Amino acid sequence: MNDLAVHLTDGKDKHLYEQIYEYIRDEIKGGKLLDGEKLPSTRSLAGYLQVSRSTVELAYDQLLSEGYIESVPYKGYYICRAEELYRLCVQPEEPGQEEDDAGSRTQPSAAFLGRCGRESGTGRSCEIDFSPNAIDMNAFPFGTWRRITRETLNDDRKELFSLGQSKGDAGLRLTICRYLHSSRGVNASPEQIIVGAGNDYLLLLLQHILGRNICVAFENPSYRRAWRIFSSFAAKTAVVASDANGMRVDSLKESGANVAYCMPSRQYPTGTIMPIGRRMELLKWAGGAEGRYLIEDDYDSEFRYRGKPIPSLQASDREGRVIYVGTFSKSIAPAIRISFMVLPPRLLERYEKNCAFFSSTVSRIDQTILDEFIRSGAFERHLNKMRKLYKEKHDLLLEELKPLLTKYRLSGEYAGLHVLLTSRGAAQEEELIRRAAQEGVRIYGMDEAALTPAGKKEGKSAATLLLGYGGLDREAIREGVRRLRGIL
Amino acid sequence: MNDLAVHLTDGKDKHLYEQIYEYIRDEIKGGKLLDGEKLPSTRSLAGYLQVSRSTVELAYDQLLSEGYIESVPYKGYYICRAEELYRLCVQPEEPGQEEDDAGSRTQPSAAFLGRCGRESGTGRSCEIDFSPNAIDMNAFPFGTWRRITRETLNDDRKELFSLGQSKGDAGLRLTICRYLHSSRGVNASPEQIIVGAGNDYLLLLLQHILGRNICVAFENPSYRRAWRIFSSFAAKTAVVASDANGMRVDSLKESGANVAYCMPSRQYPTGTIMPIGRRMELLKWAGGAEGRYLIEDDYDSEFRYRGKPIPSLQASDREGRVIYVGTFSKSIAPAIRISFMVLPPRLLERYEKNCAFFSSTVSRIDQTILDEFIRSGAFERHLNKMRKLYKEKHDLLLEELKPLLTKYRLSGEYAGLHVLLTSRGAAQEEELIRRAAQEGVRIYGMDEAALTPAGKKEGKSAATLLLGYGGLDREAIREGVRRLRGIL
């Protein structure tokens, strides 16, 4: 840490916490800080660097969430074991390098969001619905969308009404590519991007690209919809064990699966962030045999309310084993049926050979509107606004939940659009949900995301509730939790 | 024919030729005119009824194209053998019965069109491209589309930005249902309609609904894209023989297939209209065993320039064996990625059970715009305009081709967007295409639609050229044929 102090600059280009985070990260990657080594306490490092303690805490938080360090209660922070460390190849976007429109903002590219409609429950009208899938459409920039739509349709642009390229329009693919690179560290050329009408469709297409002899591994619980798609439509699936770091590689190996479906940035529904060590293990597994792939569902990776966004798994992939899947359903609106996947070169070849004749499923008009929405900077502004809005809801919910934390353990906070409450006692999930419903409050249980045939987790486990706040206003959150306090 | 004269009314509601057609058709269906019976000549019937001969010719044409009668050269017209005759259940739409918008036209529902993008070749810019897939976008009502889009996006209608129903929005499905009923005689409830992003996607979904143990029969040549989709994506396919009436049922039986892909209203690429007798044979085959289905691809059934539209095969289906597939790509624009299929009740049940969790692939905004485009009457006006425009191009092309008809036989005229020229001599398809290309004219060969692995028809057959006129203006048609006359 000796030369960290000299490196710190109080410039505008980088926050202090970010500089501290990067310095330590690089020391770990460079092998200068070794496995199991203890880090200075936040207080002592803050004192040494002459910065506030919260700055150091932020840096440590980031290192924690990316899995570089771990926190041992009452002891402190320790460097984690990592199979092998990769460097991200993210080059910061040069200002002016991007094709900029007049209206474009110069902020570094904002966060990239995730999916909506995770079996979005609309619920009864009188209810306060803590759906983990709802998003807030009140803040949608309808005016901007209308203006871009109008401008797009002007001048009788006939070419927009023709059938576009199978993969999606080149312009939109380039825009997505740049966006993914700057916000998620995804390394890809526009050729690798396939635009399609929603994740469900892309997963269907992906099965055809992967071929018939695949077995897809899922954690349990996981994103049931993806699991249903893979298990209904021809492919074999396997359920593998997970722990606090995400999918367990030993269990994955035992399962015999050759494709693993994972959500490293924030697992649904557990909220688990996969640390760097586990990521490396997974990548190593994938590289270990021909035909192995990791599907990275990056559905809401960028609604983070603390620290920097966690880089994608794809960003660490050197051997072309990660299929990155993202969507605009959650970040813009569920009706915008535009998702995309990034294929590694081997699968791109197969796509070109076997599936490229397949017509695009997205209207060119819609693609052009979305492209302009992103390139004009409107998307970025929208994301920043939404993140702020969701953070306020998140903070309020945490505040309101405090009295419950003697009986429940909180997890999954500081990111996404839901938190989890796990009973410290013997409460039954179904019973809690039923009682909440009687009070006009709809809450969700972890069991709903379970993949085992009975729809339950195997063995007995503590009741875990999912509380989504995206679709509720402040008053509804307050009132909802007030009612829950009487029940839980 | 004795009481036909009394029945004829010179009213405005029905053309004379239509009344004659209906009278004879009903006589045949009622068993009053029997198999093999000779019809009066057009001249004698015209004289008897005191109508023009061309009126009788139109009626006979219609009966011919629907397979009720056949023409024997130098002899006259005879009643055809039909396995069994069904009555259409088409009830004419009552004016005012439909939910009418202010702008709605009261014309009886216009024709329903077909598909675009049959591997639409764009061609080199200097070429005159007789692509059978091109459509004319110059006449597209951009202004109307813009206005409807603007109105749809007004008032911040948040619900439009949410994820809609899996099958498509109820409103659009109802509109499609009514439209299909009045224009194509399709008998279905809105529940049976599945809206999806393009035919390719719907065929993919259909395979999943039909399950794994299917073998799909195709004529040869046929619509290669559909064949590729079925043969790439898990299902088995079979190629069966066809004759001048379309797919041969004896060959279909031999193939062991349980699903047959056909285009009864106008086969692509041959332009064959399947007569009623063959339709009945096919329906009988389908009803003959559990799990047999007919896929009716009704891609451009309604661009007919003579006589009434030919009813759909689905309209004659009493046992729920026909899956009707249609699209708006050709009738509106290829970019409008909205197609639909009508599932028979048995398959609808399977869809509900296995595929209904699948998210819709079409944006609700786009669905709403299309719904309004149809309901406001703009679609009907557009279709009528396009039919007139295409008919003019068709007539001009036929006129220009006349000098070539000593060496080539013309077929597939009076409907669709292309005609066929078959060499009466030993001309080679590839050679003709190559020579045309040297003159800057792009023409297409029947071989391109062949399904056999080598991309060729089996055995030797006469060179057959496809000449599409949808995308060419009058000057290009004239100049193109002028150049072709020097080559062919």
DSSP string, A422-463: EESS---HHHHHHHHHHTTEE-EEGGGG--STTSS-SS----
B138, B153, B228 ranked by CB distance to A145: nearest:
B153
Using CA of residue B395, residue B396, residue B399, residue B405, what is the dihedral sign?
A: negative
Alpha carbon separation from B130 to B199, B455, B470 (Å, rounded): 23, 21, 8
Say if residues B121 and B463 touch (Cβ distance below 8 Å): no
Q: What is the reported pLDDT for B51?
A: 86
Q: Quick check: A162 and B360 CB within 8 A?
A: no
Q: Quick check: B116 and A163 CB within 8 A?
A: yes
- Interface pTM, i.e. ipTM: 0.74
Phi and psi, residue B190, nearest 5°: -55, -25
Torsion of CA B347, B349, B352, B358, to 10 degrees: -10
Q: Quick check: A153 and B149 CB within 8 A?
A: yes
CATH classification (class only), A115-140+385-485: alpha beta
| DSSP SS3 for B131 | coil
Say if residues A183 and A109 touch (Cβ distance below 8 Å): yes
**Closest Cα to residue A202, out of A177, A174, A183, A225?**
A225
Where are the domains positioned within chain A?
16-89, 115-140+385-485, 146-380
Q: What is the reported pLDDT for A3?
A: 66
| Residue A127 pLDDT level (bands cut at 50, 70, 90) | confident
Three-class HEC string of A226-237 = HHHHHHHCCCEE
Nearest CA in chain A to B203: A358
Q: Quick check: A198 and B360 CB within 8 A?
A: yes
The C-alpha angle with vertex A344 and arms to A342 and A350, in degrees rounded to 5, equals 100
Alpha carbon separation from A338 to A335, A362, B218 (Å, rounded): 9, 7, 33
Q: What is the reported pLDDT for B113?
A: 23
For A292, the token pair is: 């192995």
Q: Quick check: A150 and B145 CB within 8 A?
A: no
Q: What is the reported pLDDT for A54?
A: 84
Hey, of B359, B369, B382, B386, which one would you mutate to test binding to chain A, going by the most A CBs within 10 A of its CB? Answer: B359
For B244, the token pair is: 């001048």
Q: Is B23 on the interface with A (CB under 8 A)?
A: no
Q: Quick check: A142 and B153 CB within 8 A?
A: yes
Q: What is the reported pLDDT for B123?
A: 38
Q: What is the reported pLDDT for B457?
A: 47
Q: Is A154 exposed, middle or buried (0-12, 13-18, 19+ CB in 10 A)?
A: exposed
For A12, the token pair is: 């505008």
Instruction: Report how far residue A177's alpha carbon sits from residue A179's, in angstroms, rounded to the nearest whole number.
Output: 5
- Which residues, 6 or more positions from A29, have their beta carbon under 8 angstroms from its beta carbon? A85, A87
Q: 295-314 in B: which are within 8 Å (CB) of A?
A: none
Nearest CA in chain B to A155: B142
What number of C-beta contacts closer than 8 Å exist between A and B? 137
CA A69 to chain centre: 21
CA A243 to chain centre: 18
Q: Where does B146-380 sit in CATH, by number?
A: 3.40.640.10
Say if residues A184 and A301 touch (Cβ distance below 8 Å): yes
**Closest Cα to residue B463, out of B426, B435, B434?**
B426
Q: What is the reported pLDDT for B346?
A: 96
Q: What is the reported pLDDT for A144?
A: 92
Q: What is the reported pLDDT for B242?
A: 94
Q: Closest Cα of chain A to B204: distance in Å?
A: 9
- Which residues, 6 or more positions from B326, have their beta carbon under 8 angstroms from its beta carbon? B112, B114, B180, B184, B298, B299, B339, B340, B341
Specify the pairing of strand B69-72 against strand B76-79. Answer: antiparallel
Q: What is the reported pLDDT for A459?
A: 52
Q: What is the reported pLDDT for B81?
A: 62
Q: What is the reported pLDDT for A366?
A: 93
The two counts, helices (H) then strands (E), for chain A are 15, 17
Q: Is A97 on the interface with B (CB under 8 A)?
A: no
Q: Which residues of B335-358 are buried (b: 16+ CB within 10 A; e: fewer)?
A: bbbbbbbbbbeebbeebeeebeeb
Using only C-alpha atoms, what is the Rg of chain B? 23
Specify the amino acid at residue B471: G
Q: Is B363 on the interface with A (CB under 8 A)?
A: yes
- Which residues, 6 or more positions from B283, have their beta carbon under 8 angstroms from its beta carbon? B86, B294, B313, B316, B317, B318, B319, B321, B322
Q: Which residues pair with A9 in a beta bridge?
A: none
The C-alpha angle with vertex A243 and arms to A238 and A249, in degrees rounded to 5, equals 55
Q: What are the tens digits of pLDDT across the range A415-440?
A: 999 999 999 998 889 999 999 999 99
> Is the peptide bond preceding residue A453 cis, with omega within 30 degrees of 0?
no
| Gap between the terminal Cα atoms of chain B | 46
Q: 138-167 in A: which are within 8 Å (CB) of B?
A: 138, 140, 142, 145-146, 149-150, 153-154, 156, 158, 160-164
Phi and psi, residue A358, nearest 5°: -70, 125
Please state the length of chain B: 488
For A341, the token pair is: 């996947």
Hey, of A206, A230, A359, A368, which one would you mutate to test binding to chain B, going by the most B CBs within 10 A of its CB? Answer: A359
| DSSP SS3 for B120 | coil
Query: Can you tell me the mean pLDDT for A244-262?
Result: 96
Predicted model pTM: 0.78
Say if residues A266 and A273 touch (Cβ distance below 8 Å): yes
Q: What is the reported pLDDT for B462?
A: 83
Q: What is the reported pLDDT for A7?
A: 65
Instruction: Report how far residue A44's alpha carbon sits from residue A49's, in angstroms, rounded to the nearest whole number.
Output: 9
| Residue A148 pLDDT level (bands cut at 50, 70, 90) | very high
Sole residue written with tokens 């791109």: A348
Residue A99 has pLDDT above 70, yes or no: no
DSSP strands (E only) in B223-287: 236-239, 242-243, 246-247, 259-262
Mean pLDDT of chain A: 83
Q: Closest Cα of chain A to B194: distance in Å?
A: 15
Q: What is the reported pLDDT for A5?
A: 65
Hey, of A169, A361, A368, A382, which one would you mutate to test binding to chain B, going by the most B CBs within 10 A of its CB? Answer: A361
Alpha carbon separation from B113 to A335, B95, B186, B287, B382 (Å, rounded): 27, 22, 14, 28, 11
Instruction: Report how far residue A465's alpha carbon sits from residue A420's, in angstroms, rounded to the nearest whole number.
Output: 6
Comparing A73-82, A321-330, A409-418, B314-323, the range with the smallest average pLDDT is A73-82
Which helix H or strand E contains B76, and what residues bound it? Answer: strand B76-79
Q: What is the reported pLDDT for A138?
A: 86
The C-alpha angle with vertex B382 and arms to B377 and B384, in degrees rounded to 5, equals 100
| Residue A2 pLDDT level (bands cut at 50, 70, 90) | low
For B272, the token pair is: 């064959």
> Is the peptide bond preceding residue B269 cis, with omega within 30 degrees of 0?
yes
| DSSP SS3 for A4 | helix
> Is the peptide bond preceding residue A269 cis, with omega within 30 degrees of 0?
yes
Say if residues B265 and B298 touch (Cβ distance below 8 Å): yes
Which helix H or strand E contains A45, and what residues bound it? Answer: helix A42-49
Residue A339 has pLDDT above 50, yes or no: yes
Q: Is A125 on the interface with B (CB under 8 A)?
A: no
- Which residues, 6 or more positions from A224, have their beta carbon under 8 angstroms from its beta carbon? A119, A448, A449, A450, A451
Q: Quick check: A334 and B232 CB within 8 A?
A: no
Q: Closest Cα of chain A to B300: distance in Å?
A: 17
Q: Which residues of B93-111 are buried (b: 16+ CB within 10 A; e: fewer)?
A: eeeeebeeeeeeeeeebbb
Which residues in chain B land under pLDDT 70? 1-7, 9-13, 81-126, 156, 234, 302, 452-460
DSSP strands (E only) in A335-485: 339-342, 408-411, 418-423, 441-442, 444-445, 464-468
A432 dihedral zone (left: phi>0; alpha: psi -120 to 50; beta): alpha
Instruction: Report how far residue B339's alpha carbon sits from residue B325's, in angstroms, rounded to the nearest whole number.
Output: 8
Say if residues A198 and A229 touch (Cβ distance below 8 Å): no
Q: What is the reported pLDDT for A13?
A: 64
Instruction: Report how far residue A151's alpha carbon sits from residue A160's, in angstroms, rounded to the nearest whole number.
Output: 12
Instruction: Report how far residue B84's alpha carbon sits from residue A404's, in angstroms, rounded to the nearest whole number.
Output: 74
Sole residue written with tokens 């591994």: A217
Q: What is the reported pLDDT for B460?
A: 58
Q: Quick check: B198 and A153 CB within 8 A?
A: no
Q: Is A362 on the interface with B (CB under 8 A)?
A: yes
Query: The domain B16-89 is classified under which CATH number: 3.40.50.300, 1.10.10.10, 1.10.3720.10, 3.40.50.720?
Result: 1.10.10.10
Q: What are the tens digits of pLDDT across the range A8-19?
A: 766 556 788 888
Instruction: Report how far residue B314's alpha carbon sits from residue B199's, in angstroms, rounded to the nearest whole number.
Output: 18
